[in-house]
Structure 1
Amino acid sequence: MPGGAVVSPAGTGQPSSGSQGRGSIPKGKMKKHIAAPMTLIFPAVVLYLIFFIWPAAIGLYYSFTNYKGMPKYKTVGLKNYTTLLADHDFWAALLRTFEFIICSVPLNVCISLLAAILVTSRKAIGHTLARTLFFIPWLVSPIITGLIWRWMFGEGFGIVNQVIQSFGGHGLRWATDANLSFAVLVLAGVWAGMAFNMLLFITALKNVPESLYEAASLDGANAWQRFVNVTLPGIAPTMFMVVLLGTIGGIKEFAMVQALNGGGPGTSNRLVVQYIYETGFSNSRIGYASAASMILLVILVIVSLIQMWFNKRNGGK
């Protein structure tokens, strides 16, 4: 009937089944659509709760106690935090950690980007071999990385000093001079992290449209101008991610430093995670080390938020 409802063939006045829920999903199928992904996600959620959330909760609880690994301990409130704020060793380790980040992250970004540009260049020869060679450091564990660089820069047995002496020079005090030891630490960190960042940059470079380079060439832009005005804006989100991951990784660096120089000479190159490890396990001050871990967690969150804000402010997504 014109302007009226569609009547069922039985004449009951009920809307026909063809007009009901057109495009909607039946409840049975909806439950299946929800159950399938939840079944896949559930094991990951359980593992995350067991290995991340639960240890973090225990660490937070211990940070308010004088726990030393023994059954008997007591709550001390904020004493660990107030003591930590006046702990010169903690702030020295934290300062050295940020110095390590400031030196290693920009250098890592530049070398990784240069390597990515070289292996993606049409004029370069041996792309596959170059990628394999550049990727080898990523296959090496941090402990082995530390041992390799320790062997290379050993004062009495290192290959670097042997090369210097073969040219008539004097071997340098790579292990006993704090600044030289720190320089070796930075170089080792850059070498170890270059491969993964290079892969990220290779993907980003391939996603920059060729039409932009062609338009820039038609406008008379040289290679440097194309890099600054086309390449860098095109890979900006990836560069932000590389800087963020490098910063977080630098703050958490431990195994490579422990194998390379143990934070030495003395404690001059001890990073903050080493300080937490030595305080908690070597000195059996687990509650105090837990408080340091909580402060480090807050610093990580703040650094991440600042970098995300800076990226968004500059047009990142």
Structure 2
Amino acid sequence: MALAGLNIVLFGLFFVWPGSLGLIYSFTDYTGIGTFEFIGLDNYEQLFGDPTFYRALTRTLLFAALSVPLMYVVSLSIAALLVSNYTRGKAAAKIIFFFPWLISPIVAGVIWRWMFGESFGFVNYVVSELGADPLAWQTDPDLALMVVVMAGTWGGTAFNMLIFIAALKNVPRAYYEAAEIDGANSWQRFRHITLPSIAPTSFLVILLSSLGAMKEFAMVQALNGGGPGTSNTFIIQYIYETGFQRADVGYASAVSMILLAILLTIALLQMWVNRRRAA
């Protein structure tokens, strides 16, 4: 009972209270210091007419649409490889694949920035050695987004891999043995046994990955700062710049409330789809 009470207190302190403040501030002209006045829906009217907000939201959704499927495929493939009886060196492989999750997103961003630097990066060095022209990884918006997608996939694969490993190990071996006796090949066993058996885990991974992609900030900030220019500014970066650099906390809070509504919509939509498939 005491533990439940503590959880309620912590939830209220770190989630309900900040969320309530954000909702209140979204209806004010608060700058972060001093007093504030209620201005009604002015922040929301400004937000829905702000092209910068739509660009940041569109780029964030594009990042999520590209990184989440890639992260799912890579993490599931690695997990399947690590639970296979034919794989050797599993312990070392787990450490290597799990390493990205152990380092901070800031460090991960710096590592990828060094790798894909235009004038000093390792990748462009290899490209030059092969006789090709260096690529504009930092100044071309699409290439810069590609690097962010690869970095996000690299950082998020490790945790998803562990979840998939646990799920794959819980699939009864008798299913595979029966399918093998019936003449099913490896792909048929994977498609008709593995994927349906880990469907709840797949739903969890996709949900967490989607929410994480929509909230990506630290890694992108360290990698290219949303550049070149503001072409790859994500929604969390936009909130940060608006609230802390422009000292417009009220407007930033309004953007945060819209982001919260989007995240809840994504979660509810995925839950609805999952229930329909399970029915």
Same fold (TM over 0.5): yes
Counterpart CA distance in 2 for 1:95 and 1:258 is 18
Partner of 2:240: 277
Partner of 1:114: 77
The correspondence of residues 101-140 of structure 1 with structure 2, limited to 5 A, is 101-140=64-103
- Tell me the secondary structure at the aligned position of residue 278 of structure 2: coil
Residue 44 of structure 1: CA displacement? Answer: 2.3
Indicate yes or no: 2:186 matched with 1:235. no
TM superposition outliers: structure 1 runs of 4+ over 3 Å = none
Q: Deviations over 1:90-140 (max 9, x none)?
A: 111001001000000000000001100111110111111111110000101
Partner of 1:9: none
Aligned amino acid, residue 261 of structure 2: V
Indicate yes or no: 2:153 matched with 1:174. no
Judge which range, 194-203 or 161-170, deviates more. Answer: 161-170
Partner of 2:183: 220
Judge which range, 39-48 or 160-169, deviates more. Answer: 39-48
Counterpart CA distance in 2 for 1:69 and 1:193 is 33
Residue 70 of structure 1: CA displacement? Answer: 3.0
Higher relative contact order (CA 8 A, sep 6+): 2
Indicate yes or no: 2:274 matched with 1:301. no
Aligned amino acid, residue 43 of structure 2: N
Aligned amino acid, residue 176 of structure 2: Y
Aligned amino acid, residue 77 of structure 1: G
Counterpart CA distance in 2 for 1:47 and 1:301 is 21
CA RMSD of aligned residues (A): 0.8
Unaligned stretches of 5+ in structure 1? Answer: 1-37
Q: TM-score, normalised by structure 1?
A: 0.87
Partner of 1:98: 61
Judge which range, 121-130 or 42-51, deviates more. Answer: 42-51
Q: Give the count of matched residue pairs.
A: 279
The correspondence of residues 37-56 of structure 1 with structure 2, limited to 5 A, is 38-56=1-19
Counterpart CA distance in 1 for 2:194 and 2:90 is 20
The correspondence of residues 1-317 of structure 1 with structure 2, limited to 5 A, is 38-315=1-278
- Tell me the secondary structure at the aligned position of residue 237 of structure 2: helix
Counterpart CA distance in 1 for 2:9 and 2:147 is 41
Q: Deviations over 1:129-162 (max 9, x none)?
A: 1111100001010000000000000000000001
Structure ranking higher in helix proportion: 2
The structure whose Rg is larger is 1
Residue 168 of structure 1: CA displacement? Answer: 1.2
**Residue identity (%):** 55
Counterpart CA distance in 2 for 1:195 and 1:69 is 37
Residue 50 of structure 1: CA displacement? Answer: 1.3
- Tell me the secondary structure at the aligned position of residue 122 of structure 1: coil
Residue 43 of structure 1: CA displacement? Answer: 2.2
Residue 47 of structure 1: CA displacement? Answer: 1.8
